[in-house]
Amino acid sequence: MSPTDIYKLLKSDKTGFAGFIVLMCILLMSFVGPFIVPLDTTVKLNEIYQSPSFKYWLGTDNMGRDIFSLIVHGGKDVLIVAILTGFFSTLIAFFLGSFSGFVGGKMDTFLMWIVDVFLTIPRFPLLAVLAAVVTLDNNYLLAALLAALSWPGLARAVRSQVLSIKTRDYIEAARVLDLGTRHIIFKEILPNIMGYVVINFIFAMTAAVYSQVGLIFLGLIPLSGQNWGLMIQFAWVRGAIFYNGSLMYILAPIIVIALFQWSAIAFTRSLETIFNPRLRGAK
């Protein structure tokens, strides 16, 4: 499929395309933006809680810092943790799911029991208790923990896909040709469930943002530096919701997180059309 084809498919679903554009903007802003927009964290007491102006696009916070630059600089950590979590959990889920579906038998029953158990445990309270015991001060540890709790849903989906694909004719043919388990999983089965995997990658990302910002909001992650979650927590603790002047301080990170979540989920609709050829004819 050529890039122009992909672009056409992207544009075919309006909501999905809008999601794609917004998502790209947020990613650009967070990863490229910090090199363009300077961050000035000095306290300026004469410029506290300014309303939006040309100098300060989104106004200033309780220490006179530019909220726009805080938003630009605050996205990187949140998004890195989200992407890492999506990556780790997809990896675990893909391997365990395809293994479980392929091997079958008691192993399959056992793995699915574990999946069942993990799916019933409410994730956020468990994370909160864990965060209170372990000090989660680096991004990788946080992502690993989030991933360790978010793989089961996808693992089950992958397993059922593998189970249904396993018996198809072309897999039988590959078996007869003696192409090996690795070839069958990566060359025959993976392309077929790619759509599933990518879409679940995005869902895992949004779930990671939910849990991560929630944990920060409850003050369970000892973070420093710029971070959307921390902005919300500081603004909340300082009662920013009660004054008109400080409203932007809490609204800006909330809106940017909401936009990210919405655009990521909307984007999955485009991905569905790209990865599922059957949906294309329906338009």
Partner 1 sequence: MKLIKRLKDPQTYLWILFAGIIASWPTVINKLNPARLGVIGLFFVYIIIELGVLKLIAIRKDIGLYPWLQSSFLLRRLLRMLSTIVFVVTLTFFMIRLMPGNPIEIYIQNQMTSTGMSYQEARDQAAALYQIPLDEPLYLQWLDYLWNMIHGDFGKSYTSPGTPVTKFIVDYLPWTIFSVGTGIMISFIIGTVLGMYIAYKRGGFMDHSLSYFSSITTAIPNYLLGILLLIFLGVQLKIIPVSLMRGTAPPGVPAGFTFTYIFGIFGHAVLPMFTYIVSTVGGWILTMKNTTLNTLGEDYVQVAKARGLKEHRIILNYVGRNAILPLFTTLVMQIGLLMGGSPLIETIFVYKGIGWAMGSALGQRDYPVMQAIFLVITVAVIFANFLADMLYSKLDPRIKTNVAD
User: Is position 278 an interface residue for partner 1 (rule: CB under 8 A)?
Assistant: no
Cβ-count burial of 224 within 10 angstroms (0-12 exposed, 13-18 middle, 19+ buried)? exposed
User: Is position 250 an interface residue for partner 1 (rule: CB under 8 A)?
Assistant: yes
Measured from the CB atom, the residue of 177 and 255 that comes closer to partner 1 is 255
Let me know: does 209 contact 265? Beta carbons within 8 Å: no
User: Is position 124 an interface residue for partner 1 (rule: CB under 8 A)?
Assistant: yes
In whole angstroms, give the CA distance from residue 56 to residue 268: 34
User: Is position 171 an interface residue for partner 1 (rule: CB under 8 A)?
Assistant: no
Which residues from 131-160 bind partner 1, rule CB under 8 A?
A: 132-135
Alpha helices in 32-122, H assignment, sequence order: 33-36, 67-103, 105-120
User: Is position 35 an interface residue for partner 1 (rule: CB under 8 A)?
Assistant: no
SS3 of residue 66 by DSSP = strand
User: Is position 123 an interface residue for partner 1 (rule: CB under 8 A)?
Assistant: yes
User: Is position 95 an interface residue for partner 1 (rule: CB under 8 A)?
Assistant: no
Chosen residue from 32, 141, 173, 258 binding partner 1 by CB under 8 A = 258
User: Is position 15 an interface residue for partner 1 (rule: CB under 8 A)?
Assistant: yes
User: Is position 121 an interface residue for partner 1 (rule: CB under 8 A)?
Assistant: yes
In whole angstroms, give the CA distance from residue 207 to residue 228: 16
| Type of residue at 225 | G
Which residues from 224-243 bind partner 1, rule CB under 8 A?
A: 232, 236, 241-242
User: Is position 22 an interface residue for partner 1 (rule: CB under 8 A)?
Assistant: no
Beta bridge partners of 60: 66
Q: With b meaning 16 or more CB within 10 Å and e meaning fewer, what string describes 2-21?
A: eeeeeeebbebbeebbbbbe
Site for partner 1, rule CB under 8 A: 15, 103, 105-107, 109, 113, 116-117, 120-126, 128-130, 132-135, 206, 209-210, 213-214, 217-220, 232, 236, 241-242, 247, 250-251, 254, 257-258, 261-262, 264-266
